[in-house]
Structure 1
Amino acid sequence: MTQTLTARLRPALSLEGALRSGAALVVIYAGLLVAFTIASPVFLTGDNLLNITASVATLGIVAAVQTAVIISGGFDLSVGSTAAFTSVVVAELLSAGAGAPLAIAGALVVGAVVGLGNALVITKLNVNPLIATLGMMSIVRGAGLVWTDALTVVYPADQLAYLGRARIGGVQVSIVFMLLAFVAVWAVLRYTVFGRFVFAVGGNPKAAFLAGVRVDRVRSIVYVASGLAAGLAGLVIASQLIAGSPQAAQGLELSAVTAAVLGGASLSGGQGRVWMTLVGALIMGTLTNGLVLMDISSFWQMAVLGVVLILAVALDQLRTRARH
């Protein structure tokens, strides 16, 4: 019986099993927590943990949908620029007295339009998703800088406080939005026909097309959803800053991709686990916070995050080899 139990546990305890189950990622995160707790006496305090969750909220909202984009075989590198631009839209509308409902609607519409633009360029012009969204990233970021002359737009502080600064039972509302985003993406991918289509399109688009799946429609919906997520992230950013900044969310797109790939989303498409992306986002947020507490230069922080991105891609390659 002992031998039988050992035989059953061996795959889970192997490198292959750890990579597939996500156990390796959880161990890495636990090690990160221990390391920063030892390095900084204020790391494991209540206030700092709230700071980490607040910073992870924006990343998590975007990374949840980015996971679906990567599963479908694509990328969306425009999310950071879109979030910054929508924060400016929100601030401009609130400054003009438009009111919170119109500002929220405006941000979501702008995000959806950017996502639709990405979808049309990718599906109708057959432009590679990496190039298409990279171009959109520059377009949207540039538009925000031109509109504001690269200045921050401040709005009345009593507006939109509930989105990024309010708390429910001690939990920030932005965290609730993030968790809802993960639940929504997880439910769609796991329990709906559309979710199965997303995996099919990412795994083998030609086979999916021959099976009757409308590949372009699936991809378009995923990119519009990514734009909406970026719009929601922009709302949260505007609420946290009490302003809109065209230079906000720098590097958000790469952090979202890194979180998704760390969580198991395959760069070749067709593979991914939404909840492990949340662990990936927590790793990114915790790493940034810990480096700040250790007084590490922001330049070195950029280098470290770049190393993490490379390691995430290497981890994806290890998982691919393990599957084969």
Structure 2
Amino acid sequence: MSKAVDTTGRPRVGRLAGMGGRGSLREVLGLAIFYGAIVVILAVLSPFFLTAQNLLNLLVATSTLAIVAVFTTMLMIGGGLDLSVGSNVALAGVVIAVTQPLVGIWGAMIAGLLSGTLIGLLNGLLVTQVRINAVITTLGTLYVARGAAFVLSDGLTKPVFDEQFALLGSGAILGIPVPVWIALLLFVAGFVVMNLTTYGRALYMVGGNAEASFLAALPVDRYRLTAYVFSGFSAGLAGVVLTARLFAAAPQAATGLEFSVIAAVVLGGTSLAGGKGTLLGTFVGVLILGTLNNGMTLLSLSSDYQQIVQGTVLLLAVAIDQFRLGTVDLAVFRRRS
């Protein structure tokens, strides 16, 4: 029987491509079981872990990571990488603090969002038009944004307070904190975009095989550029929420956030090579990292130990990704006969 030939010249992408098939669902299920085990262990070790107040604190503290992780997942699926998000979050907060006396709190909030978006645009242009490696590009803007945050703030923590603005960080709807609602809505919106829109399905193709996508007349650079812009916007939004939550902006805020985001996203099943990943997996990955941080705090472990655990999680996530890609030669672990 002859096969039908697609004569449209357009790439064929299956429905719900973002779910990645049964394999990805199995991985997410396994990750969820692992998360459940972490919850049980922490509940045994600390009687305060499962209290309603602690669980709310956990979700609020994880909201910054979650907001950035949504768009980082989309960017990495499209074959990109952004190491500047932590510095971008800090810069957005400082921009809000510096501009509030000039344009009011809502104008300052817009300025913070714009600063994050512009850093994302700069990253995208340097990667897609100047053709600078994504790691080098975003590592450079990491230092630029962090340095700018220190210069604008004179190295000091700047107070930011407005009653209405503070609701973004400390308000609640139906008993759930606003930062958590923002993160949840972004996950839902991201899922819809990645699974039910042409843009989302195209990102999977661009990340999976950029050359084939180009030959199929997909505007590869445009898709990647917009993904970097969205990543920058998410950092700006996270900066807004974090500043509203803390009533202040610090130039050293969100230090190391970029590595926590990558760990959560890769742990959730998104490939560093692009073309594979799910926001559902990222959601579980974010919960794992947030829960570990919360649990270590409850157990009174110092920040030094927390860094060791976070670094170990990042290494494990990358190692798991390499096993998924089949790039690890298992023969080296076998004894020679």
Query: Normalized against structure 2, the TM-score is what?
Result: 0.88
Tell me the alpha carbon deviations over residues 196-217 of structure 1, each in whole angstroms, 9 at most, x when there is no partner: 2111110010110110011111
Q: 2:132 aligns with which of 108, 127, 132?
A: 127
Q: Is the 1:87–1:237 contact (alpha carbons within 8 Å) kept by the matching residues of 2? A: yes
Query: Which residue identity is paired with 2:35?
Result: Y
- CA pair 18-117 structure 1, distance change in 2 beyond 3 A: closer
Deviation, 1:238, is 0.4
Tell me the alpha carbon deviations over residues 273-315 of structure 1, each in whole angstroms, 9 at most, x when there is no partner: 0111011001111101101111111111101100000111122
Quick one: distance in 2 between partners of 1:181 and 1:135? 28
Aligned to 1:171: 176
Q: 1:247 aligns with which of 233, 241, 252?
A: 252
In structure 2, the gaps of 5 or more residues are 1-21, 328-337
Instruction: Indicate whether 1:73 and 2:60 are aligned.
Output: no
Quick one: distance in 2 between partners of 1:275 and 1:247? 30
Quick one: distance in 1 between partners of 2:155 and 2:293? 25
Aligned to 1:219: 224
Quick one: distance in 2 between partners of 1:191 and 1:17? 20
Aligned to 2:300: 295
Aligned to 1:35: 41
Aligned to 1:228: 233
Tell me the alpha carbon deviations over residues 26-54 of structure 1, each in whole angstroms, 9 at most, x when there is no partner: 11111110111111111111111011000
Deviation, 1:99, is 2.3
Mapping of 1:187-226 within 5 angstroms?
187-226=192-231
Quick one: distance in 1 between partners of 2:198 and 2:162? 43
Q: Is the 2:84–2:139 contact (alpha carbons within 8 Å) kept by the matching residues of 1? A: yes
Q: Is the 1:81–1:138 contact (alpha carbons within 8 Å) kept by the matching residues of 2? A: yes
- Report the 3-state secondary structure (helix = DSSP H, G, I; strand = E; otherwise coil) of the residue aligned with 1:127: coil
Deviation, 1:318, is 2.7
Aligned to 1:274: 279
Q: Is the 2:63–2:183 contact (alpha carbons within 8 Å) kept by the matching residues of 1? A: yes
Quick one: distance in 1 between partners of 2:227 and 2:302? 37
CA RMSD of aligned residues (A): 1.6
Q: Is the 1:87–1:235 contact (alpha carbons within 8 Å) kept by the matching residues of 2? A: yes
Quick one: distance in 2 between partners of 1:234 and 1:138? 17
Aligned to 1:8: none
Greater shift after overlay, 229-238 or 159-168? Answer: 159-168
**Percent sequence identity over aligned pairs:** 45
- CA pair 191-127 structure 1, distance change in 2 beyond 3 A: same
Aligned to 1:138: 143
Quick one: distance in 2 between partners of 1:37 and 1:150? 40
Tell me the alpha carbon deviations over residues 126-181 of structure 1, each in whole angstroms, 9 at most, x when there is no partner: 11111111111011001111221211000235251111110011101111110111
- CA pair 19-189 structure 1, distance change in 2 beyond 3 A: closer
Query: Which residue identity is paired with 1:304?
Result: V
Quick one: distance in 2 between partners of 1:161 and 1:169? 17
- Report the 3-state secondary structure (helix = DSSP H, G, I; strand = E; otherwise coil) of the residue aligned with 1:98: helix
Quick one: distance in 2 between partners of 1:17 and 1:147? 48
Q: Is the 2:98–2:153 contact (alpha carbons within 8 Å) kept by the matching residues of 1? A: no
Quick one: distance in 1 between partners of 2:177 and 2:24? 32
- How many residue pairs end up in the alignment? 306
Instruction: Indicate whether 1:314 and 2:319 are aligned.
Output: yes
Quick one: distance in 1 between partners of 2:316 and 2:29? 16
In structure 1, the gaps of 5 or more residues are 1-15
Q: Is the 1:92–1:155 contact (alpha carbons within 8 Å) kept by the matching residues of 2? A: no
Q: 1:111 aligns with which of 116, 130, 138?
A: 116
